[in-house]
Amino acid sequence: AIRMTQSPSSFSASTGDRVTITCRASQGISSYLAWYQQKPGKAPKLLIYAASTLQSGVPSRFSGSGSGTDFTLTISCLQSEDFATYYCQQYYSYPLAFGQGTRLEIK
């Protein structure tokens, strides 16, 4: 089974900052990677699929890159509504797998 590892597990940032979250797959997954945002008490929301394709309606300050085993989610200019937990998920092969999550907090 493919394992997904995110880093960092949590960190603090300020509004306006540029932040990057990393996701690493235990084996190559081409570009079969999605990113989700989850706020407390809510269902996750799809941000990016195919590693770099922005889901409809998602602000352009979010971007994704990478292929193979190493991926990044970048938020170019943090807004207050971006403080949440972020998950990566591979869909290259079954069983599907999520990263453990990255909690982004306000500094």
Partner 1 sequence: QVQLVQSGAEVKKPGASVKVSCKVSGYTLTELSMHWVRQAPGKGLEWMGGFDPEDGETIYAQKFQGRVTMTEDTSTDTAYMELSSLRSEDTAVYYCATLWNKGNWGQGTLVTVSS
Interface residues with partner 1 (CB under 8 A) are 1, 34, 36, 38, 43-46, 49-50, 55, 87, 89, 91, 94-101
Who contacts 102 (Cβ-Cβ below 8 Å, separation ≥6)?
6, 7, 8, 9, 10, 11, 21, 85, 86, 87
Q: Residue 3 or 18: which CB sits closer to partner 1?
A: 3
Q: Residue 38 or 69: which CB sits closer to partner 1?
A: 38
Nearest approach in angstroms of CB 73 to partner 1 is 14
Nearest approach in angstroms of CB 67 to partner 1 is 15
Cα of first residue to Cα of last residue in the chain, in angstroms, is 36
